[in-house]
Structures are given as C-alpha cells and as structure tokens.
Amino acid sequence: MAEDSLEAARRRLAALPDDSAAECTPARHLEKDAALLGRLLTAAAAASRRQDGGQCEDLADEVAAGLSLFDQMRLALDQLETRVVVEARRCEMDWKQISQHQGFRSSQAASQRYQRLTTRLEEIRQGIR
C-alpha cells in the first residue's frame, strides 16, 4: 500500500470518535506496548551515544522485558486483524475489496490469510500453540 494511501487511512480513522471507556481493549494494550518499546529504543540509542557506540549492558533487563512483549503483541494484532476482516465481511465487502486494502494481489490470498489467522488463534485458545 502506498504511503499516501496509508496516511489517508490514518486520517480517516483518526476522525472517528475516541472512546475513552475502551481503555482495556486489545488495541489499547497494543498501543501502550508499542509506546513502551519506542521508549526502550530511545533509551538504548541514548545509552549507545553516551558509551561511544559501546554495549548498553545497563539496559539488558529492559531489553529482555521488551522482547517479552512481542508474543502478546502479535496475538493482539492477529485478533484485531481478524475482527476487522469480520467487520469488513459484515459490511458486505467481498474478498477482492478486502485483499486490495490489505495489500494482497488476490482475493484468495486475503481469504487464506484470514483462515491462517483464525486457525492460529483457535490453536492458541485451545493451548495447542
């Protein structure tokens, strides 16, 4: 998807009303975790500059904590993507339209992506993964 299209999508979604009661949603957790990772990378860059490009051993525990967030973030992102695709289908979008917005070249690719996501999420729910 072109950068102009991404910015247009962001502006369109930013115009939606903000629901502060939705603080416990997967999207909010993902947003907060991404912000924490941004803070970690800023701190690591500052530590590297202070140590003339050397290792930043003093941030090892923070880096480890950051790494531990990714599995849950991937799960939350998969859940969000699945819910948005379900919403697209509910709004009578066909797979071709969905594929175009997701950057896939075919409706089959979008449908297969959705099937992989739902299978993965179900396996996680059942404790298989």
Residues 21-56 have pLDDT tens digits of 666 688 889 999 999 999 999 998 888 887 655 556
The full DSSP string for 19-62 is -GGGTTSHHHHHHHHHHHHHHHHHHHHHHHHHTTT---GGGHHH
Residues contacting 98, CB < 8 A, separation 6+: 85, 88, 89, 107, 110
* Per-residue pLDDT at 51: 63
Beta strands of 1-129 (E only): which ranges? none
Instruction: Give the number of other Cβ atoms within 10 Å of residue 56's Cβ.
Output: 18
pLDDT band at 129 (very low <50, low <70, confident <90, very high): confident
Distance CA(11)–CA(98), nearest Å, equals: 19
